[in-house]
Amino acid sequence: MELLPLNFLPVGCTARVKQINACGALRRRLMDLGLVTGTEVKAVRKSLSGDPTLYEIRGAMIALRCEESSKILVERSML
Amino acid sequence: MGLTGQSTGLAIMRRIAIAQVKVQSSGDIIVALAGNPNTGKSTVFNSLTGLKQHTGNWPGKTVTNACGRYGYDGKNFILVDLPGTYSLMANSPEEEVARDFICFGNPHVTVVVVDATCMERNLNLVFQIIEMTPKVVVCVNLMDEAHRKGIQVDTKRLSDILGVPVVGISALKRQGLDLLKQSVWEVACGGLSVNPIKIEYDEAIEDAVGIVEPQISRLIDNLSCSISSRWLALRLLEGDQAIVEAFKRYLGIDIFGWVELKERLQKARDMLVERGITIDQLGDRLVSSLFRNAEEISRQVVHHKKGATNSIDSKIDDLLTSRAWGIPAMLALLGLMFWITIQGANYPSHILSKAFFYLEEELAELFMASGMPQWLYGILIDGVYRTLSWVVSVMLPPMAIFFPLFTLLEDLGYLPRVAFNLDNFFKRACAHGKQALTMCMGFGCNAAGVVSCRIIDSPRERLIAIITNNYVPCNGRFPTLIALATIFMAVGTGWFQTVVATFAVMAMITLAVVVTLLTSKILSRTVLKGLPSSFVLELPPYRKPQVCKILIRSLMDRTLSVLARAVTVAAPAGLVIWVMANVNVAGNSLLNHFAGFLDPFARMLGLDGYILMAFILGLPANEIVIPIVLMSYVSAGTLMDLDSLEALHQILVQHGWTWLTALCTMLFSLNHFPCGTTLLTICKETGSWKWTLISFMVPTITGIVLCFVVAQTARLLGLV
């Protein structure tokens, strides 16, 4: 299965986090939101101009800009 | 550019934290209140202490530690509301403040407030705190909301697993508070022995902890604080510099000054690397383990009823944050608020001015009869009383209506949606997405808006947000905009006039947003160079606001605070104006001299000398600008019944106002120096006179340029 950056995940689709390419404080912050390897993420909706995107992460609604979401590699879940 | 910790607010928060660490007095029980943002921590705080800490449904609302008290079983409990954080790894000032308090403030109990609708994410913080201290009570808030969404949390089971008391409450409905107080009491006074869960990590990590922990517990045994040695061992292994600094700051101890511990740490790290774990990976593994446990435990204690989803929330969001309807819906909501304000303010305004005018005549007769000297009558009635009555009758009603409406939206959880909708614009301006939130707070009061900028971590973006906050018209400036828009911009009568006025005011707000974005962009390109920092925004679930409570409280608060300001600011201003109008030098009053001096410059901006003077004299509070203008115009002393906007219109037209004067006054009201309170707040928040001066100059220059261009263009085109 191919890995894709989270910002390419189509709205309404679900995926599992495989890798986080951020470092330092940003990495920590993403992980504190529950974005660790294996976490299921759903792309819920895109904002006005397509960025940021709203994701459902462990029951919470979190908006990420593509600068951040592109650093998260995910594997799309098959339905 | 001096963007150090000094100018970021971290220094302020540290000071507050340290001050509170010293709160301890014998016999009192200190309770720290921790939790994720938006779990209703402040509501729990208010329900327990009976205080009225401002709450709002957006992450980061509580930016300072608030302190309150409550009694239980004859004991005095001091409750400290820590900033909401997702973690306590000290990645941000809030996390550092919260962690430092739990570590060094020696709380007897730490209550972790968690959101019943989002247990998995919240448990991460619970684990982190349980690792730090055994004296923990977990408070599962929003049980009612979870119930509505078909989520059931088995608190008994959770308590068995975690080994600490778990209490389910609904803070808004005040359910479960007594049980919470009882649990806190039991843990604090030792009646209940806690046996907190120990989170096991990978074998290699456990071995590394085993190497350093004995040394660390010897270090801690000699200290007055109750930090867990296991927790400290993990932080030191991770290479957490903030905790080393905190030890120096609070306890005066240099951990690394102890050679033996340093050697052990090195040995443990070497061992970890040998087994394939670098320092960076260590952090990842720790967090992953915590979340694995959180997943596992929430599977056991959280039950979802089948078929129940939060469909209402997502349906509302489908509209309010959709690509097509997000912005129109936002404008429509804003428009509705203004329409209600404009329409609603008419009646109380009318009644108030009638009452004041009637009272003025009565007072006049009374004073005449008492044989009071003319000058004293002038000062008291024509000066102080009249300014006061105008501030109250013209300015108060719109303020008292708009503010509660705004608070309703805030409590509903709409503001983060605004930030979500507008984020891309802020990104393009190289500013922080949360600046939209701080701008929203500016609608209420710019000083509060400036304080709320603390939610922005990056010093650069925080300063941009602070400098540009004043472009958003605060509650004190709305009445000016509304009154002028109604008089000069709105054609027609009745409801149609209100609608036109609403559109005029909204055009002004849109302009304010555009100017904010442009200025942010310019600042990002010049004095505050840089790229936008990372941005993570949580959209909380919509919550039903307590409509009656909000309406009554903010109506009262607004009325009281405007009245207080009217007395402290408007009355003296009235006095000054009257004196200036009545002291003659070289055949003309001081007022005319001053206005005359400003007049040539003011005329270039489409204003006149009196208007510009009113803005300058209105520095202490924006509410008094229009009353000062009126005061100066009618200072000759004729009695005026200002019972309608029509009367106001007549005075202004008599003194040469055209639609252009009104437009320029509105523009200058939007774009001029912040009021005194806001300036003081900026000075306190930035800790720098330089940034305060810049915050003063930037909007003023914008206003001058904007008014100049508009006025000159209109005149050139022969529109006036």
Domain ranges of chain A: 3-76
The answer on pLDDT for B507 being more than 90 is yes
- In tens, the pLDDT along B632-647 reads 887 655 545 566 677 7
Please name every residue paired with B72 in a beta bridge, in sequence order, or none if there are none. Answer: B75
The answer on pLDDT for B694 being more than 90 is yes
Domain boundaries, chain B: 5-188, 203-276, 326-716
Q: What's chain A's average pLDDT?
A: 90
Residue-level pLDDT at B58? 58
DSSP B170: B
Report how many Cβ contacts below 8 Å link chain A to chain B: 121
**Cβ-Cβ contacts under 8 Å, B120 against chain A:** 34, 58-59
Burial B488-518 (b: 16+ CB within 10 A, else e): bbbeeeeeebbbbbbbbbbebbebbeebbbe
Q: Which of B2-11, B550-559, B664-673 has the highest mean pLDDT?
A: B664-673
3-state secondary structure of B218: helix
Is B706:B667 a contact under the CB 8 Å cutoff? yes
A31/B321 Cβ within 8 A? no
- CA B96, CA B16: separation in Å to the nearest integer? 12
DSSP B395: I
Residue-level pLDDT at B109? 94
Nearest-CA distance from B156 to chain A in Å?
A: 22
Say which range, A58-62, B251-255, B273-277, has the weakest mean pLDDT: B251-255
pTM: 0.85
- In tens, the pLDDT along B602-612 reads 999 999 999 99
A52/B291 Cβ within 8 A? no
> What average pLDDT score do residues B107-111 get?
93
- In tens, the pLDDT along B369-410 reads 888 888 888 888 888 888 888 888 888 888 888 888 888 888
Residue-level pLDDT at B49? 87
Class of domain B5-188: alpha beta
Residues 6+ apart with CB under 8 A from B241: none
- CA B651, CA B639: separation in Å to the nearest integer? 12
Nearest-CA distance from A57 to chain B in Å?
A: 8
Predicted confidence band at B56 (pLDDT cuts at 50, 70, 90)? low
A54/B86 Cβ within 8 A? no
Residue-level pLDDT at B4? 36
| Residue among A38, A47, A60 whose CB faces B421 most closely | A47
Helix (H) or strand (E) run with residue A56 in it: strand A53-57
B120/A52 Cβ within 8 A? no
User: Nearest residue on chain B to A67, judged by CA atoms?
Assistant: B534
Residue-level pLDDT at B23? 47
What angle (nearest 5°) sits at the alpha carbon of residue B138, between those of residues B133 and B140? 160
The answer on pLDDT for A62 being more than 70 is yes
Six-digit token pair at B21? Answer: 């660490």
Q: Which residue has the tokens 């108030």?
A: B352
The answer on pLDDT for B471 being more than 60 is yes
The CA distances from residue B244 to A26, B253, B254, in Å, are 21, 9, 7
3-state secondary structure of A78: coil
User: Nearest residue on chain A to B539, judged by CA atoms?
Assistant: A61
> Considering chain B, what percentage of its residues have pLDDT values greater than 90?
40
User: Nearest residue on chain A to B418, judged by CA atoms?
Assistant: A47
Residue-level pLDDT at B1? 34
A62/B536 Cβ within 8 A? yes
A61/B538 Cβ within 8 A? yes
Residue-level pLDDT at B9? 45
- CA B717, CA B482: separation in Å to the nearest integer? 27
Topology (CATH level 3) of domain A3-76: SH3 type barrels. (2.30.30)
The answer on pLDDT for B508 being more than 90 is yes
Residue-level pLDDT at B138? 97
> What average pLDDT score do residues B259-278 get?
92
- Identify residues of B whose CB sits under 8 angstroms from chain A CBs: 86-87, 89, 91-92, 117-121, 124, 280, 283-284, 287-288, 291, 294, 314, 317-318, 321-323, 326-327, 420-424, 427, 433, 532, 534-541
Residue-level pLDDT at B496? 83
The answer on pLDDT for B19 being more than 50 is no
B86/A31 Cβ within 8 A? no
> Considering chain B, what percentage of its residues have pLDDT values greater than 70?
92
Burial B26-52 (b: 16+ CB within 10 A, else e): eeebbbbbbbbbbbbbbbbbbbbbebe
Is B68:B53 a contact under the CB 8 Å cutoff? yes
> What average pLDDT score do residues A47-69 get?
90
Rg (CA), chain B: 29
Is B271:B208 a contact under the CB 8 Å cutoff? yes
Six-digit token pair at B632? Answer: 């100066």
| Residue among A54, A60, A67 whose CB faces B534 most closely | A67
Residues 6+ apart with CB under 8 A from B206: B200
> What average pLDDT score do residues B445-460 get?
87
Six-digit token pair at B40? Answer: 């209703």
The answer on pLDDT for B8 being more than 60 is no
Q: What's chain B's average pLDDT?
A: 86
User: Nearest residue on chain A to B309, judged by CA atoms?
Assistant: A59
Burial class (CB in 10 A: 0-12, 13-18, 19+), B161: middle
**Cβ-Cβ contacts under 8 Å, A30 against chain B:** 536
User: Nearest residue on chain A to B123, judged by CA atoms?
Assistant: A34
Burial B445-468 (b: 16+ CB within 10 A, else e): bbbbbbbbbbbbbbbbbbbbbbbb
Q: Which residue has the tokens 């008290």?
A: B69
Helix (H) or strand (E) run with residue B341 in it: helix B326-369
Nearest-CA distance from A73 to chain B in Å?
A: 15
Is B23:B76 a contact under the CB 8 Å cutoff? no
- ipTM computed for the complex: 0.93
